[in-house]
Amino acid sequence: MEFQMFMNDVVQAARQDMDQAGYEQLQSAEEVEETLNQSGTTFVVVNSVCGCAGGIARPSAAYMKNYEVQPDRFVTVFAGQDKEATEKARSYFTGYPPSSPSFALLKDGELKAMVERHEIEGHEPIEVVNKLESYFDEHFKK
C-alpha cells in the first residue's frame, strides 16, 4: 500500500507540473479527438512518471509556454495513467512507435513533427528546447 501511495503522489506531482505550466490535460479519448481535430495548431506533451519526464520533458514543456512563437493549444496526455486518451493521441502520431515522454506538433489534426523519448532521455533540457523552438518556428509561425 505504501508504494501505491508513493506512486499516487508522483503522478499527482507530474500532473500538477503540467497544470502549473498552463497545459490542458486531456483524460479521455473523446477529449483528445475533439481537441486534435480542431483547425489550427496543437502542441501535445505525452507525460510520464520517468526521470527524464520530470527532469527534462516537463521543464522543456513549461519553457515553451514562454516562447515567442505559440501554437493555438497546449495539451497533455498521461501515458500509463489516462490510457485511452494516450492511445487516441498516439493514433495521430503516424509512423512513430509509442514513446513517453514525447512531444508532437500538429496542424489541422495532421502530425508535423515529433520528438521521441530517445531525443529527450540523456539530453540536456536546452537541447530539447532548441529542437522544439526550431519546430515551433517551422510549423507554428503565423
pTM for the structure as a whole: 0.94
Averages of pLDDT over runs of 10 residues in the chain (142 residues) are: 75 92 97 97 94 93 97 96 96 96 97 97 96 97 78
Pairing mode, strands 102-107 and 110-115: antiparallel
Which domains are present in the chain?
23-140 (3.40.30.10)
pLDDT of residue 1: 62
pLDDT in tens, 95-108: 999 999 999 999 99
Contact 80, 94 (CB under 8 A): no
**Which are the catalytic amino acids?**
50, 52
